[in-house]
Amino acid sequence: MSSTRKGEQIIPTSDQLKEASLLIDVRAPVEFAQGALPGAINLPLMDDDERAQVGTCYRHNGGDAALRLGHQLVSGALRDSRIAAWRDAIARHPDALIYCARGGQRSGIAQRWLAEEGLEVPRLKGGFKAARRALMTVTEQAAEAPSLVIAGLTGCAKTDMIKALDSGIDLEGHARHKGSSFGRQPGQPPTQIDFEHALAMDLASCRAPYVFEDESRRIGSVEIPLPLWHGLCAAPRVLIEMPLEWRLAQIRRDYIDDLWTQYRNAYGPWLGWALMRRQLVSALVRLKKRLGSARLERLLQLQQQAFEAHVTTGDSQAHDGWLSPLLSEYYDPMYHYQLRQAEQGPAFTGSWQEVLAFVREAVDQQRQGGEVE
């Protein structure tokens, strides 16, 4: 990209998006907040108010008048400051690409202003819309590719297995949510668009067959794209079986120890503890319909006792008092029911290590032209 020509436009592909050292999104902040391309930063040509004024002018007076107004609004020192922001970013990332909504006026103006400053920077042809279409095509193609789905009761460390595989696709990681009522993570979840884009880039970086965790279509605040969801429903499943005590240790690590570390790092000890505690209580209360009032009240009491013991001794193992019955009385029966409803049984069942070995062998076999047995 260092030998770009004036006005050059790059056709957006997943490879181009991966290779770009930086993507500069010149859309307004409100557009960027709804979803952007992976790794992009927002250095807008117009802010939200300026964009709104230009949009109103366009609707009432047409394109030429709107363009003139845009140049009036972003002129003089304001124009210079926005060019300077682009220049600073490009100085740090010489292979940067510029894009706007459809690759038209805004990115073209930014490209032209930079060219006047001696910087020839390419822009994405078709802008955000074309790049999004390319990324969604990656996901649609992946939905048709061979895949395996790792199933198992809550606490079987399915996500750990996904991370241990070079073809593992961490849906929960992209959703920033662990996939259950207790799975919310500190901070803002991704928008649906950002989730879909990060997932597509991950799929483009891996080689099929892909390996996914058994999930509901909705993970936290986002949904798995429908073509991929259909592909996952039809894919062979492998089943991890581990004893309750082993699973309890995993659940405690994921939903107590790791969550506490995240909240403490994000908010400090006092507020972090209060927010984590509120999240876990709220998650349990949300299960009231399924648990029933009496069982919920018992689990809430056990949970409060665990919090008190945890804060007194610093030992999170006290949480086993409410996590164990939650698993055995709620999550395990629900998961067993779902397994019985499946049209096909698992392709393989075994311990965590046995399933990992099976999946690795199955992936290698598929890549060499065989089938998953």
Q: Kindly report, residue by residue over 25-54, the tens digit of the pLDDT.
A: 999 999 999 999 998 999 999 999 999 999
| CA–CA–CA angle 127, 121, 62 (5° rounding) | 45
* pLDDT score of 337: 84
For residues 253 and 299, membership in a common domain is answered with: yes
Of 100, 156, 206, 233, which one is the catalytic site residue? 100
Question: What is the dihedral sign for C-alpha 83, 86, 91, 95?
Answer: negative
CA dist., res. 2 & res. 326, Å (int): 58
* Count of C-beta atoms within a 10 Å radius of residue 40: 22
For residues 189 and 317, membership in a common domain is answered with: no
* Count of C-beta atoms within a 10 Å radius of residue 354: 14
Give the three-state DSSP class for 20.
Answer: coil
For residues 30 and 117, membership in a common domain is answered with: yes
Mean pLDDT of the region 311-319: 92
For residues 225 and 265, membership in a common domain is answered with: no
Is the bond leading into 209 cis (omega within 30 degrees of zero)?
yes
CA dist., res. 70 & res. 117, Å (int): 20
> Is 340 inside a domain boundary?
no
For residues 216 and 309, membership in a common domain is answered with: no
Q: The domain containing residue 262 runs over which residues?
A: 244-332
User: Is residue 156 annotated as part of the catalytic site, yes or no?
Assistant: no
* pLDDT score of 325: 94
* pLDDT score of 179: 79
DSSP state of 170: -
For residues 259 and 231, membership in a common domain is answered with: no
State yes or no: pLDDT of 219 exceeds 70.
yes
State yes or no: pLDDT of 213 exceeds 60.
yes
* Residue where one domain finishes, among candidates 95, 130, 165: 130
Band the pLDDT of 83: cuts 50, 70, 90: very high
Give the three-state DSSP class for 153.
Answer: coil
- Judge whether 161 and 152 are in contact, CB under 8 Å: no
* pLDDT score of 163: 96
Mean pLDDT of the chain: 92
* pLDDT score of 185: 86
For residues 126 and 272, membership in a common domain is answered with: no
Band the pLDDT of 4: cuts 50, 70, 90: very low
- Judge whether 372 and 146 are in contact, CB under 8 Å: yes
| CA–CA–CA angle 228, 230, 231 (5° rounding) | 60
- 106-110, 151-155, 276-280, 334-338: lowest mean pLDDT where? 334-338
* pLDDT score of 370: 55
- Judge whether 298 and 309 are in contact, CB under 8 Å: no
For residues 69 and 112, membership in a common domain is answered with: yes
| CA–CA–CA angle 95, 99, 100 (5° rounding) | 165
Taking alpha carbons only, the member of 165, 26, 171 closest to residue 85 is 26
Band the pLDDT of 191: cuts 50, 70, 90: very high
Band the pLDDT of 20: cuts 50, 70, 90: confident
* pLDDT score of 228: 97
State yes or no: pLDDT of 1 exceeds 50.
no
> Is 343 inside a domain boundary?
no
Band the pLDDT of 3: cuts 50, 70, 90: very low
* pLDDT score of 246: 96
> Is 290 inside a domain boundary?
yes
CA dist., res. 135 & res. 37, Å (int): 9
DSSP state of 194: H
> Is 183 inside a domain boundary?
yes
| CA–CA–CA angle 125, 130, 134 (5° rounding) | 120
* pLDDT score of 2: 37
* Residue where one domain finishes, among candidates 130, 161, 188: 130
Give the gyration radius of the chain's Cα atoms: 25
> Is 109 inside a domain boundary?
yes
* pLDDT score of 6: 58
> Is 254 inside a domain boundary?
yes
- Judge whether 99 and 32 are in contact, CB under 8 Å: no
Name the pairing type of β-strands 218-219 and 222-223. Answer: antiparallel
CA dist., res. 368 & res. 366, Å (int): 5
State yes or no: pLDDT of 5 exceeds 70.
no
State yes or no: pLDDT of 371 exceeds 70.
no
* pLDDT score of 21: 87
Q: pLDDT tens digits for 168-184?
A: 999 999 999 987 888 88
> Is 346 inside a domain boundary?
no
* pLDDT score of 335: 87
Q: How far is CA 43 from the centre of its chain?
A: 23
> Is 1 inside a domain boundary?
no
CA dist., res. 263 & res. 267, Å (int): 6
* Percent of the chain's residues with pLDDT above 70: 97
Count of domains observed in the chain: 3
- 86-116: string of b/e by CB count within 10 Å (b at 16+)? beebbeeeeebbbbbbebebbbbbbbebbee
Mean pLDDT of the region 48-63: 94
134 Cβ neighbours under 8 A, 6+ residues apart: 12, 13, 14, 17
CATH code for the domain of 37: 3.40.250.10
For residues 111 and 249, membership in a common domain is answered with: no
For residues 93 and 49, membership in a common domain is answered with: yes
* Residue where one domain finishes, among candidates 66, 101, 130: 130
Residue type, 153: L
For residues 43 and 125, membership in a common domain is answered with: yes
For residues 66 and 213, membership in a common domain is answered with: no
